[in-house]
């Protein structure tokens, strides 16, 4: 009988998940209608990026991980939480694209838009709205003169 570790390892290997850099993902196998979880192997790793969604797929040839349906993203190293309809992590370009009613929260500041791209190396968000709409940002601004 095959152990669950070996089965999980062989499934990840077959899907090419072990080739994704820098975050080696586990449990990111496409099973529709089940909550999927892609999480860095070491939960205490400050580089861990956790993505939860209805479906997740990984392509080892392109280095792209796609999460669809009720996407929740957590990136504690940058204090980022986000929700969207779809998220794609482009490992080679080090970029995350969030699509569909996106909401991002970082250190109390928030950003809403139809599409938001996070450029990991630059620590920069680029937001675009639906046609004839706007994006919205809410920033916490300290006021030294207020009591």
- Exposure string of 45-81, with b = 16+ CB inside 10 Å and e = fewer, is eeebbbbbbebbebebeebbbbbbbebbbebeeeebb
> Does some domain include residue 92?
yes
Segments forming the whole domain that contains residue 36 = 4-138
> Does some domain include residue 35?
yes
Nearby residues of 2 by Cβ (< 8 Å), 6 or more positions away: 10
The pTM of the full predicted model, rounded to 2 decimals, is: 0.68
State the total domains in the chain.
Answer: 1
> Does some domain include residue 59?
yes
Q: What is the pLDDT of residues 6-59, one digit of tens each?
A: 333 433 343 443 333 333 333 333 333 334 444 444 445 667 899 999 999 999
> Does some domain include residue 143?
no
Task: Report DSSP letters for 44-85, one per residue.
Answer: T-TT--EEEESEEEEETTTTEEEEEEEEEEEEGGGTEEEEEE
> Does some domain include residue 147?
no
Q: Identify the CATH number of the domain in which residue 94 sits.
A: 2.60.450.10
> Does some domain include residue 144?
no
- CB 99: neighbour CB atoms within 10 A? 18
Residue 122's pLDDT band (boundaries 50, 70, 90)? very high
- For residue 72, give both structure tokens: 């929740």
Helix (H) or strand (E) holding 32: none
């Amino acid at each position: 009988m095959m152990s669950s570790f070996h089965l999980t390892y062989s499934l990840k290997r077959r899907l090419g998940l072990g080739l994704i850099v820098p975050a080696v993902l586990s449990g990111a196998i496409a099973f529709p209608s089940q909550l999927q979880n892609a999480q860095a192997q070491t939960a205490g790793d400050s580089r861990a990026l956790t993505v939860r969604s209805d479906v997740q797929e990984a392509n080892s040839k392109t280095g792209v991980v796609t999460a669809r349906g009720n996407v929740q993203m957590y990136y504690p190293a940058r204090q980022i939480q986000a929700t969207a309809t779809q998220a794609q992590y482009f490992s080679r370009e080090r970029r995350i694209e969030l699509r569909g009613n996106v909401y991002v929260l970082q250190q109390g500041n928030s950003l809403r838009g139809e599409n938001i791209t996070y450029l990991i190396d630059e620590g920069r968000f680029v937001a675009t709205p639906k046609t004839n709409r706007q994006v919205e940002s809410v920033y916490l601004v300290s006021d030294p003169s207020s009591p």
